[in-house]
A and B are shown apart, each in its own frame.
Chain A
Amino acid sequence: DSGVTQTPKHLITATGQRVTLRCSPRSGDLSVYWYQQSLDQGLQFLIQYYNGEERAKGNILERFSAQQFPDLHSELNLSSLELGDSALYFCASSVAGGLTDTQYFGPGTRLTVL
Chain B
Amino acid sequence: DTAVSQTPKYLVTQMGNDKSIKCEQNLGHDTMYWYKQDSKKFLKIMFSYNNKELIINETVPNRFSPKSPDKAHLNLHINSLELGDSAVYFCASSQSEQASEAFFGQGTRLTVV
Decide whether A and B are members of one complex.
no
